[in-house]
Amino acid sequence: MKNRILSVLAQNNYGVIARVAGLFTRRGFNINSFAGEETHDPSISRITLSVTENADSIDQIQKQLEKLVDVKKVELLDTQNDIIRELALIKVKAHQELLPHIKGLTEAFSVRVVDMDTEVIVFELCNTKEKIDEFIDKVRIYQIIESARTGVIALQAGNKHM
């Protein structure tokens, strides 16, 4: 089984998110992450789903999503070539040993420091899941106090669009 990203365009109607999530519940599929918000057109929402399933199950999920009344289009994204990002906030204890490494971390991982005091430093990352996981592994030794992640959002690369 492989991690797959589905991008869904749907009418921005009451209950559309619940119907999409309900489809997964009824079929017994697990969702790794689920992100949805209206697009530049307030009447349309984009829902990005990350799922780990085999190719047959992904095909079935896509067909079932396309049958939902409010769903306009469903695309299976290419995890190697399309633009797939996650947002994370990581709060780390402000150890003296960490301070000299902040500049290097921000450059290596395209990280921003969004809050800093004598007790904690909060980093903001917008990157791939793998890069965020790598950053977390790097700062784990300084004691992560808490973290929050958005889940995946994605768009097709280049001139392709839904």
Separation CA 16–CA 105 (nearest Å): 40
CA distances from 49 to 24, 69, 79, 86, 116 (A): 11, 18, 12, 12, 33
Separation CA 34–CA 147 (nearest Å): 18
**pLDDT tens figures, 43-73:** 999 999 999 988 898 999 999 999 998 999 9
Percent of the chain whose predicted confidence (pLDDT) is above 70? 100
The boundaries of the domain holding residue 116 are 83-155
Final residue before a domain boundary, out of 49, 77, 105 = 77
Separation CA 132–CA 126 (nearest Å): 8
Is residue 119 scored above 90 in pLDDT? yes
Task: Calculate the average pLDDT of the chain.
Answer: 93
Helix or strand holding residue 144 (H, E): strand 144-155
**If you average pLDDT over residues 119-146, what whole number do you get?**
95
Contact indicator for 48, 7 with CB cutoff of 8 Å = yes
Q: What are the tokens at 74? A: 């469903």
* 156: DSSP letter: -
Is residue 30 scored above 90 in pLDDT? no
Final residue before a domain boundary, out of 33, 59, 77 = 77
In this structure, are 73 and 114 located in the same domain?
Answer: no
* pTM of this structure: 0.85
